[in-house]
Structure 1
């Protein structure tokens, strides 16, 4: 986030105000491994998602802002055993598990390097997060769209990249120096549409849209059904 200003405007003669955030635009990449016929996604803990799930439990607010995927569940277990009454222990045990804040996403990153093209930024993200070294020239632009119209108005540009096992040069996992803790996940092609529409699997809209795009544009090439 860059800043959080307020916008004042008139709509049909009525003065209104709106809080918004100026943020970086971003890129995302649908990665398809042609060796194993699977999609490469990332899985990570999102504090905002976790807090939305926590809100549903109507428990006390968190004691600190630095509870991570591991820390959120550990804190709930540890704090409930130290100097609390039975009712307090019952309340703290209602913390959602850390998995409640984990989502499946496309490999993605912020457009925060003005000296690099969108393709070059996307290439770096694929290498850092998923471990595949793909030339920027091999990235196919799918489309761009507003990724947050209510608060940010930021634009995301989506790319498609075909990789093989030969392109895999590391385990990925993101940049620890930037605080990233990312798990690389493989979704078989024949399970993709079931995965996309399964509401029990927490995922971003980018995953759903990109799987549908692949189904409509690329699946005939591989002669494998992606139907639900």
Structure 2
């Protein structure tokens, strides 16, 4: 599947950098990547009693671990002059085909503090009717996946299904909110 791996010449979304800094009187260096902040949305479909996830092709995952696809929250980078809520709503429709009217902020966190200090803002929304097939834009390869709530905890610990920490955190949040 992977044809070649080569140095990045003209990055569009990330910028590899070297940070030189002083700490405790000693000069140090750190390799890092400047990257866009992002939004992500945990989608719940009450009529199906299921979460709506995306299964997306990830070349870096294939290169590093042999998995071509990752299960993720619907998400996107913050690269437009719009509110985080509006970017999240647009991503939901592009990736899943669901139209969202009401969205609730859960929290924000940093996605990879070791090499990229990007901040992700996490939202929650309920969906009911698809208005489009989803699948992303341009040449994105995205499959819409409905994960039944009854199978979600088993899914969380299934290491054969690569998933992001944000997805795991969001599912833990949902179960905590709905445990009363």
After TM superposition, the score normalised by the length of structure 2 is 0.89
Given that residues 23 and 154 in structure 1 are in contact (C-alpha distance below 8 angstroms), is that contact kept between their aligned partners in structure 2? yes
Among 190, 194, 197, which residue is 2:154 paired with? 194
Question: What's the counterpart of residue 125 of structure 1?
Answer: 91
What does the per-residue CA deviation read over 1:19-42, in whole Å, with 9 as the maximum and x for residues that have no partner? 212111000000000111100000
Cα offset, 1:16, TM superposition:
0.7
Cα offset, 1:196, TM superposition:
0.8
Given that residues 26 and 111 in structure 1 are in contact (C-alpha distance below 8 angstroms), is that contact kept between their aligned partners in structure 2? yes
Given that residues 24 and 110 in structure 1 are in contact (C-alpha distance below 8 angstroms), is that contact kept between their aligned partners in structure 2? yes
> Which is helix-richer, 1 or 2?
1
Cα offset, 1:143, TM superposition:
0.4
Equivalent residue pairs, number: 168
> For 1:22, what is the secondary structure of its paired residue?
strand
Unaligned residue ranges in structure 1 (runs of 5+): 54-95, 221-228
Among 93, 101, 113, which residue is 1:149 paired with? 113
After TM superposition, the score normalised by the length of structure 1 is 0.71
Question: What's the counterpart of residue 76 of structure 2?
Answer: 109
Unaligned residue ranges in structure 2 (runs of 5+): 1-12
Question: What's the counterpart of residue 161 of structure 1?
Answer: 125
Q: Which has the larger radius of gyration?
A: 1
Given that residues 29 and 158 in structure 1 are in contact (C-alpha distance below 8 angstroms), is that contact kept between their aligned partners in structure 2? yes
Among 133, 139, 156, which residue is 1:171 paired with? 133
Question: What's the counterpart of residue 9 of structure 2?
Answer: none
Question: What's the counterpart of residue 204 of structure 1?
Answer: 164
Q: How does 1:1-40 map to 2 (within 5 A)?
A: 1-40=13-52
RMSD: 1.2
Q: C-alpha distance in 2, partners of 1:17/1:148?
A: 18
Cα offset, 1:4, TM superposition:
2.0
Given that residues 197 and 208 in structure 1 are in contact (C-alpha distance below 8 angstroms), is that contact kept between their aligned partners in structure 2? no
